[in-house]
């Protein structure tokens, strides 16, 4: 599956992992040294993330049920907590820098 910014036509990731159970969301990216280029992890449901115990900086985009980008976080270092994003149904997590110039709040994202 690919994640595409439908608003701009830009591909954000070509390899999407899914954390859609409590256990998978609990582990998330913990224990990983990085995310490969072109990869993302989708956590759902999710209104807030943290980077406690993570080994790398990440980008994240919170989306509503239709895929609208509600909040974009860039370069979130370890040991941080994101804001609570009301209306979010999930969040895509990327390697740091992956979203630079590729997505902004209000864009529509599409899995294809």
- Sorting pLDDT into bands at 50, 70 and 90, what band is 88? very high
Q: What angle do CA 110, 30, 74 make, to 5 degrees?
A: 50
Q: What is the mean pLDDT of residues 80-86?
A: 97
- Sorting pLDDT into bands at 50, 70 and 90, what band is 32? confident
Q: Is the pTM of this model over 0.75?
A: yes
Point out which residues pair with 94 in neighbouring strands.
59
pLDDT in tens, 65-82: 999 999 999 999 999 999
Nearest-CA neighbor of 48 among 88, 104, 79?
Answer: 88
CB 51 within 8 A of CB 78: yes
Proportion of the chain above pLDDT 70, given as a percent: 100
Q: What is the pLDDT of residue 31?
A: 78
Q: What is the pLDDT of residue 26?
A: 84
pLDDT in tens, 45-66: 999 999 999 999 999 999 999 9
The span from the CA of 60 to the CA of 82, in Å, is: 9
What is the 3 state secondary structure string of 5-25?
A: ECCCCEEEECEEEEECCHHHH
| Domains defined along the chain, listed by start | 3-111 (2.60.120.1140)
Q: What is the pLDDT of residue 62?
A: 98
pLDDT above 90 (res 33): no
Beta strands in 7-105, from DSSP E residues, in sequence order: 10-13, 15-19, 39-43, 58-63, 69-76, 90-95
């Amino acid at each position: 599956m690919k994640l595409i910014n439908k608003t701009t036509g830009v591909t954000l990731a070509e390899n999407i992992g899914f954390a859609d159970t409590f256990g998978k969301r609990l582990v998330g990216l913990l224990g990983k040294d990085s995310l490969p280029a072109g990869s993302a992890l989708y956590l759902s449901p999710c209104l807030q993330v943290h980077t406690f115990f993570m080994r790398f900086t990440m980008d994240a985009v919170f989306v509503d049920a239709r895929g609208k980008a509600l909040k974009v976080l860039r370069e979130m270092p370890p040991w941080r907590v994101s804001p609570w994003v009301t209306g979010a149904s999930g969040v895509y997590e990327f390697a740091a820098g992956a979203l630079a110039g590729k997505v902004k709040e209000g864009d529509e994202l599409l899995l294809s």
